[in-house]
Structure 1
Amino acid sequence: MKKVLIIGCGYGGVVAAWRLSGYRKAVSVTVIDKGRYFNFLPLLPDSIGRRTPLQYLAFPIDKLSSIYSFTFVNEEAKFLNLDKSLVMTSQRNISYDYLIIASGSETNFYGNEQIKRFAYKLDNAVDASKIVTDLKAREFDAFVIAGGGYTGIEIATNLRVYLERFGEKKRIVIVERAPSILGPLPQWMKDYVQENLDRLHIEVLTNTVIEKIEERDLTVSGGQQFTNAMLIWAAGVKTADFLQNLNCEKNPQGRVRVDARLRLKHNCFVIGDASYFQHETTNLRMAVQFAIAQGTTAASNIIRHISGLPLRPFIPKDLGYLIPMANNRCCGNVLGRDMKGKTSIALHYLMSLYRAYGIKNKWCILKSLSRF
């Protein structure tokens, strides 16, 4: 029996473990994760504005291990020795025959310890709980979101919906270092989102960075100051430290370059946000749909390798993307078709329900969403 080790229990890792669970006579599966819960990332911003209960956005990995018959090690991967097929945590060395790296991504503070100390982030349900708890104290006079990408937009609109519920008209500002929000997305999407932000009285400062922060007081480039402000950092992500330290080809985020079959080495596969995969002339973006598909391909290729069969290349199918905003406005592209409005927001939440784990979680998420 071959030993398969999976680092990370996000979408890619869970799907890989699920697929491998059908081959229990051929493989034993161990999953390493420093957290104890699978976090349902697509709806974390909704815990702020839509009051989606956080307990339904986190599923215990222990339960997943029982469902999919894997051994769960609740520790953090610290180092890899690919030549000796070893993963090192702070407590032990774990050997493997096959390795799947599915460690995802985390907030990138770009080495700024002051921002890391005082800013909020939204990597998991624990982070969301801290934001919601501190919002309830009603102690902030302004809210600054660093980053004008998908996540920053979602957070800002959810904050506005939250404040309006209590009749508060406090200032919300998105700070984006680039010349425009939403990076390389089409101009019509940027215009649609900007118009909605204007409607919600959410300010956008482009070509701007956070220059200084001291607890709740911060200064942005140009000298504008915010006092008693909550800073939420959504200005970029990076891979886990053990990948950052790995000697191999990576992009600036630390995503690891893989071959057409998702391999870094003959017995090491890298998937999801940790993987830097090029399809034709395009580098695949970070997205749940690709993590799921790559988890399936990596598991299949391990079984094929054990069986002496040729490995199959990963061929991505891009279903599209959506930018949901908390006041039920949304835009994006699905299956090559531009979309906006109620149809697209409904599609976003239907896909979220489909991808949630646990019947009780699905039902409770549906109930919370039906209030809007």
Structure 2
Amino acid sequence: MKKILIIGCGYGGVVAAWRLSSHRKTVSVTVIDKSRNFNFLPLLPDCIGRRISPRHLVYPIDKLSSIYGFNFVNEEVKYLDLDKSLVMTSQRNISYDYLIIASGSETNFYNNEQIKRFAYKLDGAVDASKIAADIKVREFDAFVIAGGGYTGIEIATNLRVYLEWAGEKKRIVIVERAPSILGPLPEWMKGYVRENLVRLNIEILANTVIEKIEEGSLAVSGGQQFNNAMLIWAAGVKTADFLQNLNCEKNPQGRIKVDANLKLKDNCFVIGDASYFQHQNIYLRMAVQFAIAQATTAASNVIRQIRGLPLRPFIPKDLGYLIPMANNSCCGNVLGRDMKGKTSIALHYLMSVYRAYGFRNKWGILKTLITGVGK
């Protein structure tokens, strides 16, 4: 029986384990993750504005283990030895015949210890709980979001919706080091989002960086000072440290470059955010849909390789993307069609409910979206 090891229990890891579960007579599957829970990332900002309970965005990995028949090791991976087919955690060395790396991504503080110490991040439900709780108990005068990408926009609009619900008029500022928000997205989308941010009285400081941060205050380039401010850091992500230290070709975020079959090495596959995959001269962006699709291909290729069959290349199908904002404005592109408005926001939440794990979580999310009351 071949030993298959999966690092990470996000969507990529769960789907890979699920796909392999039908081959239990020939393979044993072990999943390693430092968290005890699967975290549903797409709705984390909604814990602030729509007051979705963070408990509806987690699902115990132990339960997933029982459902899909894999072994679960709740430990953090520290080092990989691909030549010896070993994974080293903080407590043990684990050998494998095949490895699927699905470790996702995490907030990148760019080695700035001050920012890491004083800024809030949004990597999981625990982080969302902390932000939501501190907004209520700490009387911040301003809210600064570092990063004008998808996540930064979502966080800023959710903050405004929450503050309006609470009857508080506070300053919200998005700080973006690039000349404009939303990077390479089409100009019509940027314009649509900017107009909505103006309506919500959310400021944008482009070509600006955080220069100094202390507890309760920060300064940005250009001389502006924010006192008694909450800083939420959404200015980029990176792969886990054990991948950053791996000697192989990577992009600046630490994503591992893989071949057409998602392989890094003969018995090692990399998927999801950890994977830097090129198709038709374009590298795939980080997205749940690609993590799910790559997990299916990687699991299939592991079985095909065990059986001595030719591997199948991963051919992505881009279903599109949406930028949901908490006041029910939304824009994006779905199946090649530009979308904006209420239809697109409804599609976003329908897909979110569909992809959430557990009936109670699905019902909890749906009930909160309908009634506007989270618990």
TM-score with structure 2 setting the length: 0.99
CA distance in 2, matches of 1:83, 1:6: 17
Deviation digits for residues 174-226 of structure 1 (CA, Å, limit 9, x no counterpart): 00000000000000000000000000000000000000000110000011000
- Give 1:304's aligned residue: 304
2:117 matched to 1:117?
Answer: yes
Letter in 1 for 2:193: V
Deviation digits for residues 83-106 of structure 1 (CA, Å, limit 9, x no counterpart): 100000111000000000000000
Letter in 2 for 1:267: N
- Give 1:202's aligned residue: 202
- Give 2:344's aligned residue: 344
CA distance in 2, matches of 1:246, 1:36: 25
2:100 matched to 1:100?
Answer: yes
CA apart distance, 1:136: 1.1
- Give 1:74's aligned residue: 74
- Give 1:144's aligned residue: 144
Structure 2 SS opposite 1:25 = coil
2:74 matched to 1:88?
Answer: no
CA distance in 2, matches of 1:86, 1:108: 27
Letter in 1 for 2:159: L
2:217 matched to 1:229?
Answer: no
- Give 2:27's aligned residue: 27
Structure 2 SS opposite 1:317 = coil
CA distance in 2, matches of 1:280, 1:345: 30
- Give 2:47's aligned residue: 47
Structure 1 SS opposite 2:371 = coil
- Give 1:370's aligned residue: 370
2:327 matched to 1:327?
Answer: yes
Structure 1 SS opposite 2:317 = coil
CA distance in 2, matches of 1:14, 1:313: 21
Structure 1 SS opposite 2:59 = strand
Letter in 2 for 1:292: I
Structure 2 SS opposite 1:140 = coil
Deviation digits for residues 240-278 of structure 1 (CA, Å, limit 9, x no counterpart): 000000000000000000000000001000000000000
Letter in 2 for 1:220: V
Structure 2 SS opposite 1:226 = strand
CA distance in 2, matches of 1:270, 1:115: 30
CA apart distance, 1:308: 1.2
CA apart distance, 1:166: 1.2
2:270 matched to 1:270?
Answer: yes
- Give 2:4's aligned residue: 4
Letter in 1 for 2:180: S
- Give 2:184's aligned residue: 184
CA distance in 2, matches of 1:109, 1:190: 25
Deviation digits for residues 215-240 of structure 1 (CA, Å, limit 9, x no counterpart): 11000001100000000000000000
Letter in 2 for 1:77: V
Alignment of 1:231-310 (within 5 A): 231-310=231-310
CA distance in 1, matches of 2:166, 2:34: 37
Give structure 1 regions of 4+ aligned residues with deviation exceeding 4 angstroms. none
Number of equivalenced pairs: 372
CA distance in 1, matches of 2:206, 2:149: 12
CA distance in 2, matches of 1:355, 1:216: 37
CA distance in 1, matches of 2:27, 2:222: 58
CA distance in 2, matches of 1:352, 1:90: 34
CA distance in 1, matches of 2:192, 2:370: 25
CA distance in 2, matches of 1:172, 1:38: 31
- Give 1:15's aligned residue: 15
Structure 2 SS opposite 1:158 = helix
CA distance in 2, matches of 1:342, 1:371: 17
CA apart distance, 1:371: 2.5
Structure 2 SS opposite 1:178 = coil
CA distance in 1, matches of 2:110, 2:100: 27
Structure 1 SS opposite 2:315 = coil
Gaps (5+ residues) in structure 2?
none
Deviation digits for residues 143-168 of structure 1 (CA, Å, limit 9, x no counterpart): 00000000000000000000000111
Letter in 2 for 1:151: T
CA apart distance, 1:307: 1.1
Structure 2 SS opposite 1:318 = coil
Deviation digits for residues 268-295 of structure 1 (CA, Å, limit 9, x no counterpart): 0000000000001100000000000000
Letter in 1 for 2:339: M
Deviation digits for residues 85-136 of structure 1 (CA, Å, limit 9, x no counterpart): 0000111000000000000000000010000000000000010011011011
CA apart distance, 1:138: 4.1
